[in-house]
Amino acid sequence: MKNTYWSTYVQESEELYRSRALRFHDGNKDLWLKAFQIENGMKVLEVGCGGGIFCHRIKTYLPDTDVTGLDFDTGHIEYAKTKSLELNLNCKFVNGDATSLPFEDNTFDTCFSHTVINFCEPNDFLKNNTGY
Ligand SMILES: C[S@@+](CC[C@H](N)C(=O)[O-])C[C@H]1O[C@@H](n2cnc3c(N)ncnc32)[C@H](O)[C@@H]1O
């Protein structure tokens, strides 16, 4: 189902991508990768990935990771897929709801999310992001 509310009225995909590029970059990558507890070879899920910059950067820095980004905004997901082709990065991007994830338990080694829980009902968000 098409849902471009966020990318149309809240933050356009390119604007979101560029703003995060300023905040998380080569100069501080060791800090934020450590904070997210991501290591090469892991299967990683980002919940609420926007235009996909974290996924792209993780795959660039740690090429043996298997990276999936999920967002409910279909405009962001299309942007992330297009950008993956442009950057020649093999990341997966799926449309879905953080409070009802479309994955089997134990699909991922780790899961992280940045500035998304505050837009969801927190108990629904947490109960659906702990078993993957
Ligand atoms: C402030 S943006 C942060 C995007 C990305 N995490 C980042 O830091 O660049 C919030 C994101 O959460 C997504 N989002 C909000 N509620 C969601 C939900 N219930 N399920 C999936 N994504 C959601 C929005 O579409 C948007 O991309």
Best residue among 67, 100, 111, 119 to mutate for probing ligand 1, ranked by most atoms within 8 Å of CB: 119
Domain edges within the chain:
5-127
| Single pTM value for the model | 0.94
Checking if the pLDDT of 53 tops 80, the result is yes
Best residue among 9, 116, 127 to mutate for probing ligand 1, ranked by most atoms within 8 Å of CB: 116
- What integer pLDDT is reported at residue 130 of this predicted model? 60
Superfamily of domain 5-127: Vaccinia Virus protein VP39 (3.40.50.150)
Checking if the pLDDT of 82 tops 90, the result is yes
132 pLDDT tier (thresholds 50, 70, 90) = low
* Residue of 47, 43, 46 lying closest to 97 (CA atoms): 47
**Section 41-62 average pLDDT:** 97
